[in-house]
Amino acid sequence: MENDKPVAWYRRADDAIGAWLLAALLVITLVNVFVRYFTDQSFAWTEELSSFLMLVMCLAGSASAITRDSHIRIEFFFEAAGPGRRAGFEKFSALANALFFFGLGLLSAMMAWDEFRFGDTSPAIGLPKWWYSIWLPIFCAILCTRALQRFQQVRRPNGQTTEKDAA
| Per-residue model confidence (pLDDT) at position 153 | 87
Q: Report the C-alpha gap between 98 and 141 in whole angstroms.
A: 9
pLDDT digit string, tens, across residues 56-70: 898 888 888 888 878
Look up residue 45 and give its DSSP letter.
H
Question: How many residues are listed for the chain in this entry?
Answer: 167
pLDDT digit string, tens, across residues 15-51: 888 899 999 999 999 988 888 888 888 787 888 888 8
Q: Which of 3-7, 54-58, 104-108, 120-124 is the least confident region?
A: 3-7
Q: Report the C-alpha gap between 35 and 43 in whole angstroms.
A: 8
| Per-residue model confidence (pLDDT) at position 98 | 95
Task: Evaluate if residue 1 carries a pLDDT over 50.
Answer: no
pLDDT digit string, tens, across residues 87-100: 888 899 899 999 99
Residues 51/28, Cβ–Cβ less than 8 Å: no
CA nearest neighbour of 139 among 10, 25, 23: 10
